[in-house]
Structure 1
């Protein structure tokens, strides 16, 4: 029976008690990428992430992939309401964010299952379109699940403001960053 529970895999909406595990996945992902050092400690990040997730639950929907009792993957759908049109009074679009599967579970199609689950959620919510800002590694996976380039969907990189104070606490020694 224990083996059966360990191998059971399902995708569902994140519950409030999943948010710390989801925050830990987000921390792990950014640390794996190694692009820039964190601006805070892991514990402070987890607290902030959990609070942020609760505050933004109406617009940011988190799905988790669970094997047994362990959260092994996540995917977010950020929903943005759009200006009404005479053809559609209620409009919204979505953006896939933070699709992540723990390293030991990768390359078996699980990321694709998360993408499909997010697209199904978008369909259920009647979204007009779903975009994604992909990593280089994941571009082909998104293409396999229906994403493509659009000559009409443009983006502009906006430089960060220079006159805003940083709210991040100072970094602690590396051992506190886990």
Structure 2
């Protein structure tokens, strides 16, 4: 793939990452989002406040961020055999439309999963659109009969 690097986001790139999140929301029909500049400011502040638990991986072509994927790390209750346990949740995988269908999303997911392995996470989950399920399955994600959820509020 044409000179694209996949790596952890630098702090100076978080405004561009916020822009990707904004694009994703607009692309998926979100309305009444407010002003993009306000969102970028809040997003960058949130990313700084949550840097210990939320890790952003980016795809960069030249100096432009064209894709992102987040890993949310959650500490789990210890057991006698595993005093330090954690799992992860893959979130906000997005690639700009003009860079899709070339495997870039899969590269982002694999990079996040490699990072999760390095952290020793027990599992990584993802909440997917039905359209993206095959892509996640290609990266090793599978349905689990024991992973349940309760929807508490609209997303």
Please report how far the alpha carbon of residue 87 of structure 1 lies from its aligned counterpart in structure 2 after TM superposition: 1.4
The structural deviation recorded for 1:86 is 1.0
1:23 and 2:15 matched: no
Alpha-carbon deviations, 1:53-72, whole Å to 9, x = none?
00000000000100111100
Find out whether 1:95 has 2:89 as its counterpart. Answer: yes
Q: Is it true that 1:59 corresponds to 2:53 in the alignment?
A: yes
Alignment of 1:1-178 (within 5 A): 7-34=2-29, 36-159=30-153
Aligned residue pairs, count: 153
Summarize deviations over 1:54-104 as a string: whole Å, max 9, x none. 000000000010011110000000000000001100000000000000000
State the distance in 2 between where 1:11 and 1:105 align: 13
Please give the secondary structure, in 2, of the residue aligned with 1:107: coil
Distance of 2:66 and 2:11 partners within structure 1: 16
Structure 1: gaps of 5 or more residues: 1-6, 161-178
- Stretches (4+) displaced over 4 A: none
Shift of 1:38: 3.4
Query: What's the TM-score once normalised by structure 1's chain length?
Result: 0.84
- Name the TM-score, length of structure 2 as normaliser: 0.96
Task: State how far apart, in whole Å, the 1-side matches of 2:137 and 2:57 are.
Answer: 20
Q: CA deviation at 1:8?
A: 1.5
Rg (Cα) greater in structure: 1
